[in-house]
């Protein structure tokens, strides 16, 4: 036998022995660790782990630290793993609009970069739950590729105030739209074996004084508005975690709120994951634990380590039953098993950055909303000779919003400038609209003026066939806007350019609605939100007509602050830190519902958005059944392909008897010129119901509800009456 063959046989024998040893080890590990049996339910597995845990190990699971310099990436929260039990470390990062690794003193490492998606409002403006799912799936994949297993993404607060500095992270003002978009993003994250965190539960609807704010609102109205958004998101997405918010709700801190956490979230909605606090939102040990808080996040942010030794002490002195701590640990572990975090420790295949970049751009394109287009100025004529691009750093990139959701975009920020009134930076994502436009109109002169000097900008505009002004307004976590105006110099810039050239188009990069005193002076308006790292390309594609403007507003654009339920943000001018009550006396009449009830005409209504073609809706019919439905026909009456977003509204009384307009369904329909499609929409009875707080039940009180199909909340020409059997809805 040759030496080569002998060594080959020895190698095979050694391999066999290794496999046998590995098999035995796995078998014995299965015996030592019965919770590793994937055939058991997540609940059973979590229970088995809890039985094997020491008390300090349980307590360890119930708080996270924000100080983790030993980690490859700075984490928002870290809970160390329990090696002896095979429980991995829990690594939490922000990820509403992409994986958001914080800057390291203004700098970053390449590994901190991630795909910067458009803002939440932009994704909501697609009115596409499928695209929201795709965004979630991208976030989940990138999280896993970075070795992270919990993302603090799934923000479902309603945009009750269009000046809230975090609205850009959220999905607008309607419970159905928000719940559907956020729920699908959560589902997309979960399908990548990453836990998502639905937040900020609940009524953290302004940033001003968020830690000292008491949200005062009728419980029934709350059920029909903010909580309905969370309820729908929870049902569609099944998040593994929920984050309770900074504020109080009707006098009780959200993270100590038995009604919110135990009664509604767990008992009624069947949420079976864990509740973590927002960073710095815990005020007690026993009270919070008994009210349903499972985990104190970023303990360094709170006044004390409420869930560390203090929790152990509370168990000892009987203030918190030991069984309670078991349940808290069990809920954390259950989500780890349910999401596959324990079983599936290997990172997913590396995130595919070019595919992710394409999706970021596609989301931006589908979410950009065309608000005005006089005389068909857009799309720009193919033979246009001279375009003036002005302002907004359009030569460099596109604006993004600030705070914990800030993503460091792939390739690094295009520009970082000191942020207004905050010790941080305004980040511009790469992708310059100017360069993208120039590339798509190579025969045209595309010139740029910064807009710093009004005269230079006007002079350039005067010589051009079309002037495009980029106006930006930065919004960020921790701050609200004092009013709806653009920064004053930008209004003045638009005025001067429009005076010099009537063919002026304004492209807005904003995190919220803005006032537009110049609306009648300009020919076109495009709301691009914060469009993410593919934003420049996306804007240019829409301007030249490579892509249709497909977005519809997920939030009402008021004509001014005086139209709002609270013309001033409560506490905005008083000293920060003073406790305040915010009286949400509009109840469930949030956004367009308020405008409808008061018969006020906004600047642009919820649901609005123009297309490069036109549509007609006709032949509405209704079907009475347990789940009633409507059907109607949509026709593309224009000359280009395009997608209509017909919206179905109903008018139904809430618990307080006040009738509110409610979005109860919609559809996206892509049609060629002249094409027609019949569309069916089912109406979930919950969306017509009022919440009877006394009986703790949803109630359908009417025999018929007025309904209408239209292109926006303010344009609902096709009307009917929807017959329904009055009844109590099952809990
Ligand atoms: C924010 C959360 C965020 C957390 C961790 C808080 O200030 O409100 O949305 O997830 O910080 O960074």
CATH of the domain at 453: 3.40.50.1700
Based on the structure, what is the number of domains in the chain?
Answer: 4
Classify residue 632: in a domain, yes or no: yes
Using the mean position of ligand 1's atoms as its centre, give its distance from the Cα of residue 428 in Å: 21
Q: Identify the residue whose C-alpha is closest to ligand 1 atom 8.
A: 278
Asked which of 276, 310, 338 is the last residue of a domain, the reply is: 338
Q: Residue 262 is encoded by which pair of tokens?
A: 């135990």
Ligand 1 atom nearest 210 alpha carbon? 8
Instruction: List Cβ<8 Å contacts ≥24 apart for 53-57.
Output: 53/82, 53/85, 53/329, 55/312, 55/315, 55/322, 55/325, 56/312, 57/82, 57/85
In this structure, the answer to whether residues 497 and 639 fall within a common structural domain is no
In this structure, the answer to whether residues 553 and 668 fall within a common structural domain is no
Span 209-231, pLDDT tens digits: 999 999 999 999 999 999 999 99
Classify residue 691: in a domain, yes or no: yes
Q: Identify the residue whose C-alpha is closest to ligand 1 atom 11.
A: 279
In this structure, the answer to whether residues 231 and 98 fall within a common structural domain is yes
Classify residue 591: in a domain, yes or no: no
Which pLDDT belongs to residue 535? 98
Lowest mean pLDDT among 3-12, 23-32, 102-111, 577-586: 3-12
In this structure, the answer to whether residues 236 and 252 fall within a common structural domain is yes
In this structure, the answer to whether residues 107 and 124 fall within a common structural domain is yes
Using the mean position of ligand 1's atoms as its centre, give its distance from the Cα of residue 478 in Å: 10
Asked which of 285, 311, 338 is the last residue of a domain, the reply is: 338
- Contact status, residue 112 vs residue 118, Cβ threshold 8 Å: no
CATH number at 700 reads 2.60.40.10
In this structure, the answer to whether residues 83 and 47 fall within a common structural domain is no
- Where does ligand 1 bind, in terms of residues with CB under 6 Å? 76, 94, 152, 199-200, 278-279, 404
Using the mean position of ligand 1's atoms as its centre, give its distance from the Cα of residue 298 in Å: 9
Which pLDDT belongs to residue 1? 44
In this structure, the answer to whether residues 378 and 523 fall within a common structural domain is yes
In this structure, the answer to whether residues 419 and 491 fall within a common structural domain is yes
In this structure, the answer to whether residues 511 and 641 fall within a common structural domain is no
Span 395-453, pLDDT tens digits: 999 999 999 999 999 999 999 998 887 778 999 999 999 999 999 999 999 999 999 99
Classify residue 595: in a domain, yes or no: no
Using the mean position of ligand 1's atoms as its centre, give its distance from the Cα of residue 247 in Å: 13
Q: Identify the residue whose C-alpha is closest to ligand 1 atom 6.
A: 279
Instruction: List Cβ<8 Å contacts ≥24 apart for 568-571.
Output: 569/161, 569/163, 569/206, 569/208, 569/480, 569/482, 570/206, 570/208, 570/209, 570/213, 571/208, 571/209, 571/213
Pocket test for ligand 1, best of 198, 279, 401, 480 (most atoms within 8 A of CB): 279
CA distance linking residue 643 with residue 23, whole number of Å: 57
- Contact status, residue 204 vs residue 155, Cβ threshold 8 Å: no
In this structure, the answer to whether residues 46 and 132 fall within a common structural domain is no
Q: Identify the residue whose C-alpha is closest to ligand 1 atom 7.
A: 279
Pocket test for ligand 1, best of 77, 152, 299 (most atoms within 8 A of CB): 152
Give the DSSP letter of residue 259.
I
- Cis check for the bond before 200: say yes or no (omega within 30 of 0): yes
> Which residue in the block uniquely carries the two structure tokens 């560390």?
308
Q: Identify the residue whose C-alpha is closest to ligand 1 atom 2.
A: 278
Classify residue 532: in a domain, yes or no: yes
3-class SS of residue 561: helix
Which pLDDT belongs to residue 18? 46
Classify residue 275: in a domain, yes or no: yes
What is the percent of the chain where pLDDT is above 90?
89
Structural domain span for residue 443 = 356-563
Q: Identify the residue whose C-alpha is closest to ligand 1 atom 4.
A: 279
Q: Within 10 Å of residue 77's Cβ, how many Cβ atoms?
A: 25
Classify residue 147: in a domain, yes or no: yes
Asked which of 563, 579, 601 is the last residue of a domain, the reply is: 563
Ligand 1 atom nearest 94 alpha carbon? 10
In this structure, the answer to whether residues 71 and 178 fall within a common structural domain is yes
CA distance linking residue 557 with residue 173, whole number of Å: 11
Pocket test for ligand 1, best of 63, 94, 422 (most atoms within 8 A of CB): 94
- What would the DSSP string read from start to end of 336-359? HHHHTTTT--SPPSPP-HHHHHHH
In this structure, the answer to whether residues 36 and 91 fall within a common structural domain is no
Span 307-348, pLDDT tens digits: 999 999 999 999 999 999 999 999 999 999 999 999 986 665
């Amino acid at each position: 036998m040759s030496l080569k063959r002998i060594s080959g046989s020895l190698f095979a024998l050694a391999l066999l022995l290794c496999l046998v040893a590995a098999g035995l080890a796995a078998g014995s590990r299965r015996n030592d660790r019965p919770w590793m049996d994937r055939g058991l339910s997540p609940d059973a597995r979590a229970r088995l782990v809890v039985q094997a845990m020491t008390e300090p190990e349980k307590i360890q699971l119930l708080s996270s630290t924000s100080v983790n310099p030993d980690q490859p990436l700075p984490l928002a929260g870290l809970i160390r793993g329990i090696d002896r039990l095979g429980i991995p470390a829990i690594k939490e990062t922000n990820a509403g609009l992409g994986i958001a690794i914080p800057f390291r003193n203004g700098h970053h490492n390449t590994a901190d970069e991630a795909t910067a998606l458009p803002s939440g409002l932009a994704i909501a403006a697609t009115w596409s739950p499928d695209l929201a799912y795709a965004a979630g799936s991208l976030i989940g994949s990138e999280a896993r590729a970075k070795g992270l297993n919990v993302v603090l993404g799934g923000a479902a607060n309603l945009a009750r105030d269009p000046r809230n500095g975090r609205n850009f992270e959220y999905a607008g003002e309607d419970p159905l739209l928000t719940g559907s978009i956020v729920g699908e993003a959560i589902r997309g994250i979960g399908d990548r074996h990453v836990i998502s965190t639905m937040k900020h539960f609940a009524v953290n609807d302004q940033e001003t004084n968020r830690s000292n704010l008491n949200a005062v609102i009728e419980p029934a109205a709350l059920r029909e508005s903010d909580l309905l958004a969370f309820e729908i998101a929870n049902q569609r997405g099944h998040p593994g975690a929920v984050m309770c918010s900074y504020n109080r709700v009707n006098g009780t801190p959200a993270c100590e709120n038995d009604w919110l956490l135990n009664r509604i979230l767990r008992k009624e909605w069947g949420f079976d994951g864990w509740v973590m606090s927002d960073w710095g939102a815990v005020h007690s040990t026993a009270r919070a634990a008994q009210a349903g808080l499972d985990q104190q996040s970023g303990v360094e942010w709170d006044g004390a380590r409420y869930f560390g030794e203090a929790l152990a002490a509370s168990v000892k002195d009987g203030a918190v039953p030991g069984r309670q701590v078991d349940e808290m640990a069990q809920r954390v572990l259950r989500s780890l098993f349910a999401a596959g975090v324990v079983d599936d420790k290997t990172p997913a295949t590396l995130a595919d950055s070019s595919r992710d970049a394409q999706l970021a751009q596609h989301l931006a394109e589908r979410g950009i909303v065309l608000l005005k287009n006089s005389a068909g100025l857009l799309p720009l004529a193919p033979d246009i000779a001279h375009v003036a691009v002005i302002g907004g750093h359009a030569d460099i990139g596109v604006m993004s919003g600030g705070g914990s959701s800030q993503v460091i975009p792939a390739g690094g920020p295009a520009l970082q400038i000191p942020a207004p009134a905050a010790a941080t930076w305004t980040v511009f994502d790469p992708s310059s609209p100017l360069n993208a436009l120039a590339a798509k109109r190579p025969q045209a002169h595309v010139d740029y003026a910064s807009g710093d000097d009004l005269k230079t900008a006007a002079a350039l505009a005067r010589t051009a066939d079309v002037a495009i002004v980029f106006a930006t307004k930065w919004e960020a976590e921790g701050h609200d806007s004092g009013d709806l105006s653009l920064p004053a110099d930008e209004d003045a810039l638009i005025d001067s350019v429009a005076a010099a050239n009537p063919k002026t188009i304004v492209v807005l990069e904003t995190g919220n609605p803005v006032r537009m005193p110049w609306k009648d002076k300009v020919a076109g308006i495009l709301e691009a939100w914060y469009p993410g790292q593919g934003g420049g390309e996306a804007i240019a594609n829409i301007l030249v007509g490579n892509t249709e403007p497909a977005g519809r507003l997920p939030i009402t654009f008021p004509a001014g602050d005086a139209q709002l339920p609270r013309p001033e943000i409560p506490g905005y001018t008083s000293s920060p830190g003073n406790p305040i009550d915010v009286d949400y006396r509009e109840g469930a009449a949030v956004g367009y519902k308020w405008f409808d009830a008061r018969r006020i005409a906004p600047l642009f209504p919820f649901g609005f958005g123009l297309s490069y073609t036109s549509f007609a809706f006709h032949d509405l019919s209704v079907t009475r059944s347990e789940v009633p439905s409507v059907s109607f026909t949509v026709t593309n009456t224009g000359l280009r392909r395009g997608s209509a977003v017909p919206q179905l509204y109903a008018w139904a009384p809430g618990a307080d008897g006040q009738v509110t307009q409610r979005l109860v369904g919609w559809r996206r329909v892509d049609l060629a010129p002249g094409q027609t499609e019949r569309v069916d929409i089912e109406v979930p009875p919950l969306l017509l119901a009022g919440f009877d707080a006394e009986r703790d039940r949803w109630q359908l009180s009417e025999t018929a509800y007025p309904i209408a199909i239209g292109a926006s909340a303010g344009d609902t020409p096709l009307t009917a009456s929807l017959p329904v059997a009055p009844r109590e809805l099952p809990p």
